[in-house]
Structure 1
Amino acid sequence: MISGPPWGWRRGGRHGNIAVSKFFRDVNAMKRRTVLQLAGLSSTLMGCGGGSSGTDPAPAPAPTPTPDRPNILVIALDDLNNWVGYLGGHPQVKTPAIDALAGQSFAFMKAFSNATECSPSRASVLSGLSVQNTHVYDNTATFKGINPGKDQFEDMLKRSGYQVTRYGKIDHTYSSYPLPMPPSQPVANKTCPAPLGEGSFDWWPSTAADDQHPDYRYTQSGIDFLNSYDSSAPFCLSVGLVHTHVAWYVPQRFFDMYPKQGLQLPSPPADDLDDLGPAGRSVALQYNFHQCVTGQGLWADAVQAYLASISWADSQIGRLLTALANSRHADNTIVVLWSDHGFHLGEKFHWHKLALWDPGVHVPFIVRLPGQTVAHKMSQVVGLRDLAPTLLDYCGVKSTYAMDGRSLRPLLEKPDQSWDYPVLTTRLQYDHAVRTAQWRYIRYQSGEQELYDMQADPSEHYNLAKQAAYAQTIADLDAYMPPLQAS
């Protein structure tokens, strides 16, 4: 079995990569097999559901029956990877609101996006379709633009009598930003904003009042809706936050939560790309961002800003969930939280999105049913395209077309059952990854392959694809991929 640490970290500072040989990683891995735990997360969450706690959980009380037509509150996040407390993705992150929600919900520990950037992912989430069937492959298109007149799950709810309301970014269209807009010139990262646009990959503590930030206003709109809605018709309210999308301009106090001195950063080994082919290396080193960021001595600064943005978004989620708890809708509302895809901050020397490795596709996904207070830590692999059929199932609404995702309701009603449905993730149109409980298999348009044993090597340091012993594993996983084709 291949041994490898769950994470490689180093202390923050203005330095480049610290070279660590694979030999010494293997020796030290035996000492570092313990998965990072969230300080402060309830013991209830860490010890129940999904069969992954290592101990037999106490039998959960019978679930409260879900109303025939429950309300729905959807909270959508942007570019948030697994750096949230309940997922243990970063040892210093502070996400009390998300963790509290996870502590009384079905918290999926292995949820993956079906696409690697915003519009394709959101099209898949809202339709329950694979990228191959939405035909939305990048951010130049939207579901409604490519599929005029075709329903998303909210349209189906609306046709059945639901009041459907959106605030912020849900699909890849959203309300105009209120102030503060990113400045026209970069503030912190002055050298490498291109090709994303001048000032777009930037960060700085904002001096604007909280209520001048887009996320605050979107959240406030959601709060106002919850406080004022008194119709007998059920509602589906969606609130989409902009952060953690760049640019990371959030109030100073959130930066202060993460002093750069002692901040822990991803630490990919110097030889991490040596067993990749040209396509994988090209993705990892896209736009030369890693050299650009580290050349300016900004690695710790960028991680600090990303963590600050996570905690800022978490604070808005806390406001929204408090409003729900204090409203007349508290006991008859399904709450769902998800992020469209992940984000790299130097892992495998990659930055941003558009990568099929774990930091780019492993996302928060939480479902709380009406009246639920018992946590279930779900270890089964699931994809975001399962969200739409799940909500339609609980609302008793039939889809207007056959969805590729499947309802998670049977799993939520029996959380410790086997759930062997691999997740397909697509990058652009022709690069794909398949994720199972044990494996991540990546195949690029060129035919180049990567295979990682995610149980033994969760940081994806050892590409097994060229080893003859894994030929049958690759053949089995290839069956879940679209046919290999030229562009």
Structure 2
Amino acid sequence: MKQIYSKIIMTSLVLLLSLTTYSQTKKEAVAAKPNILFIAIDDMNNWTSAMGGAAKTPNMERLAKAGKLFTNAYCVVPACNPSRVAIMTGVRPETNGQYTNPGNFRDLPGNANRITLPIYLQQNGYEAVAAGKVFHNGRGKGTEPDPQSDPQSWNYQFPNDVGTKGHQLYLDKNNQAKWLEGAMYKEGMNINKPDYLSKFGVWGVTPEKKEETSDWKNAEFASNYLGEKHDKPFFLAVGLFRPHSPQIAPQEFFDMYPLESVKIPELPADDQDDLPEVAKTNFSSNFVRLVKEKGQLQKATQAYLASMSFADACIGKILEGVEKGPNKDNTIIVLWTDHGWQLAQKERWEKFSLWKQATNSPLIIKYPNMKNRGLSTNQAVSLLDLFPTVLDLSGIAKPDFLEGTSLVPILTDANYIRKEPAITTYEKGNISVEKGDWNFIQYIDGSEELYNHATDPKEFKNVINIKENQAIIKELRAYVAHLKKEKR
């Protein structure tokens, strides 16, 4: 009998030890998962100092030196809402249906239960937290979160607004920019719904101090969160609204760019001559004409640069939480902007085109035990690649629905040459293919453009009709045909 009891006790001890070991192993596995920090910047183009631009962005420079800068990264769609939806769902607009800014992607067919990156990470043991604008809207301060902040994606959203105050100071009685002097006012116009650019095409100083702005408070929340220990690995996404319109920033950032020293973009008079008719104008072209006629381009450029530097200061505040906190050595950092931004190039304002100035999106990735730090790459990549990349870096299996390509081979091998192009869609049927030095554009009416960034980085010369380019045109045209056929 004693032997039986001894065996029972021994078996129980072994079982208890096994369960304890299993529990400990499970805890270690959870603890071993790296944290993930997304820093999402709204409407910031490639003028950052890290990319050789005129904007003073020392914190982005510092992060680039500690990680990897992708100088040739491109948005999936050159508009805020569909760009962010593509990043967070891991699929193209041809799949999720969100091509333009209006509307909530959840209301489109097939999206009610679509799994987003934060949802997928939660399914793999993460806490998902957001502050500011990550999807199309921030949460806001209300009792209920804004539906376009995609509340179902988050365990918690910081209740706050985005951007800076002071917009109303620069508007006239008709809710339009004062500098327009009524040039875009139409008799009987509903002043509560003026033309978008006539209201938001505004630049100037906010009466707020840096620390009083919503963008700074979102950065401060993120910094504090990053400075704490957490029971679970976390996915923290913080979205900064500037330099999105209106370009209103604290005085200290305007002081960094004395107006007389600000250089406006290079705008060749004949830059429209070689464009197909479908591409020559859009809704912003008349606004660009007024910006020039009323002598506002230099002021607008100054305000955009100031807003970039303000955003960079917020980035510095966020990074402070990583560097001074307990998560310094186990956090993946991904800094991205949702698309580029145009200031009168090719008679365009803001985004909404397939040219590089609208689609090129600064991207920096840093992760634990990273090799080849500080080495940038000019290989064309897509923001669609972020979902699979963070999963690979986290050791999490990738779901089958993802349409991007992991950037881990480029991150880990300085000699790796990517085969896949970066493909951008602007409204249904208009597609750009970036590969190597080339940007090939095909519009819905079949007209095309081609630019060689090796000889023409600002895309002043459309070389679609040059005989020597027919081989590369054929190659890039095939990607467009494949996408259209695949998504029919």
Bucket of the pairwise TM-score, normalised by the shorter protein: 0.7 to 0.9
The one-letter code matched in structure 2 to 1:145 is D
How far 1:97 moved relative to its partner?
A: 0.4
Aligned ranges 1:103-114 → 2 under 5 Å: 103-114=65-76
Q: Deviations over 1:423-445 (max 9, x none)?
A: 11011112110001121011111
**Would the aligned equivalents of 2:177 and 2:201 in 1 still touch at CA under 8 Å?**
no
Distance 2:57 2:460 in 1: 28
Quote the residue 1:483 is aligned against: 484
For residue 133 of structure 1, the aligned residue among 91, 95, 117 is 95
Aligned ranges 1:393-404 → 2 under 5 Å: 393-404=392-403
Distance 2:59 2:249 in 1: 17
Closer, same or farther: CA 439–198 of 1 in aligned 2, 3 Å: closer
Aligned ranges 1:169-318 → 2 under 5 Å: 169-176=133-140, 177=161, 180=165, 182-183=167-168, 185-186=175-176, 189-191=179-181, 195-196=195-196, 199-228=199-228, 230-283=229-282, 286-318=284-316
How far 1:475 moved relative to its partner?
A: 2.1
**Would the aligned equivalents of 2:341 and 2:349 in 1 still touch at CA under 8 Å?**
yes
How far 1:474 moved relative to its partner?
A: 1.8
Closer, same or farther: CA 212–186 of 1 in aligned 2, 3 Å: farther
**Would the aligned equivalents of 2:227 and 2:327 in 1 still touch at CA under 8 Å?**
no
Q: Deviations over 1:51-77 (max 9, x none)?
A: xxxxxxxxxxxxxxxx84100111000
How far 1:375 moved relative to its partner?
A: 1.1
Distance 1:158 1:181 in 2: 38
Distance 1:282 1:474 in 2: 24
Q: Deviations over 1:227-283 (max 9, x none)?
A: 33x333100101000011001111111111111113111122111111111111124
**Would the aligned equivalents of 1:452 and 1:460 in 2 still touch at CA under 8 Å?**
yes
The one-letter code matched in structure 2 to 1:190 is L
1:434 correspondence with 2:419:
no
Quote the residue 1:336 is aligned against: 334
Quote the residue 1:153 is aligned against: 117
Displacement over 4 Å in runs of 4+: 191-194
Quote the residue 1:324 is aligned against: 322
1:81 correspondence with 2:45:
yes
**Would the aligned equivalents of 1:439 and 1:451 in 2 still touch at CA under 8 Å?**
yes
SS of 1:376's equivalent in the other structure is coil
How far 1:212 moved relative to its partner?
A: 2.7
How far 1:483 moved relative to its partner?
A: 3.0
The one-letter code matched in structure 2 to 1:119 is N
How far 1:222 moved relative to its partner?
A: 0.7
The one-letter code matched in structure 1 to 2:204 is W
Closer, same or farther: CA 345–197 of 1 in aligned 2, 3 Å: closer
Q: TM-score, normalised by structure 1?
A: 0.81
**Would the aligned equivalents of 1:120 and 1:142 in 2 still touch at CA under 8 Å?**
no
Task: Give the length in aligned residue pairs.
Answer: 417
The one-letter code matched in structure 1 to 2:356 is D
**Would the aligned equivalents of 2:391 and 2:398 in 1 still touch at CA under 8 Å?**
yes
The one-letter code matched in structure 1 to 2:219 is T
Quote the residue 1:353 is aligned against: 351
Distance 1:424 1:445 in 2: 15
**Would the aligned equivalents of 1:125 and 1:384 in 2 still touch at CA under 8 Å?**
yes
How far 1:484 moved relative to its partner?
A: 8.5
Percent of paired sites with the same residue: 31
Distance 2:336 2:352 in 1: 18
**Would the aligned equivalents of 2:84 and 2:136 in 1 still touch at CA under 8 Å?**
yes
Distance 2:273 2:235 in 1: 48
SS of 1:450's equivalent in the other structure is strand
User: Which structure's relative contact order is higher, taking Cα pairs within 8 Å and 6+ residues apart?
Assistant: 1
How far 1:197 moved relative to its partner?
A: 5.8
Distance 1:480 1:312 in 2: 39
**Would the aligned equivalents of 1:156 and 1:399 in 2 still touch at CA under 8 Å?**
no
Quote the residue 1:379 is aligned against: 378
Distance 1:432 1:71 in 2: 35
Distance 2:205 2:59 in 1: 22
**Would the aligned equivalents of 1:182 and 1:199 in 2 still touch at CA under 8 Å?**
no
How far 1:181 moved relative to its partner?
A: 5.6
How far 1:186 moved relative to its partner?
A: 4.5
Structure whose alpha-carbon radius of gyration is higher? 2
Distance 1:400 1:372 in 2: 25
Distance 2:292 2:50 in 1: 29
SS of 2:376's equivalent in the other structure is strand
Task: Give structure 2 stretches of 5+ with no counterpart.
Answer: 1-30, 141-160, 185-193
SS of 2:484's equivalent in the other structure is coil
How far 1:356 moved relative to its partner?
A: 0.7
Q: Deviations over 1:76-130 (max 9, x none)?
A: 0000110101111x3x320000000001101111111111100111111112212
Distance 1:259 1:128 in 2: 42
SS of 1:480's equivalent in the other structure is helix
Q: Would you tell me which structure has more helix in proportion to its own residues?
A: 2
Distance 1:240 1:232 in 2: 24
Quote the residue 2:389 is aligned against: 390
**Would the aligned equivalents of 1:124 and 1:131 in 2 still touch at CA under 8 Å?**
yes
Distance 1:286 1:208 in 2: 30
**Would the aligned equivalents of 1:81 and 1:342 in 2 still touch at CA under 8 Å?**
yes
Closer, same or farther: CA 197–451 of 1 in aligned 2, 3 Å: closer
Q: TM-score, normalised by structure 2?
A: 0.81
**Would the aligned equivalents of 2:74 and 2:360 in 1 still touch at CA under 8 Å?**
yes
The one-letter code matched in structure 1 to 2:477 is D
Quote the residue 2:145 is aligned against: none
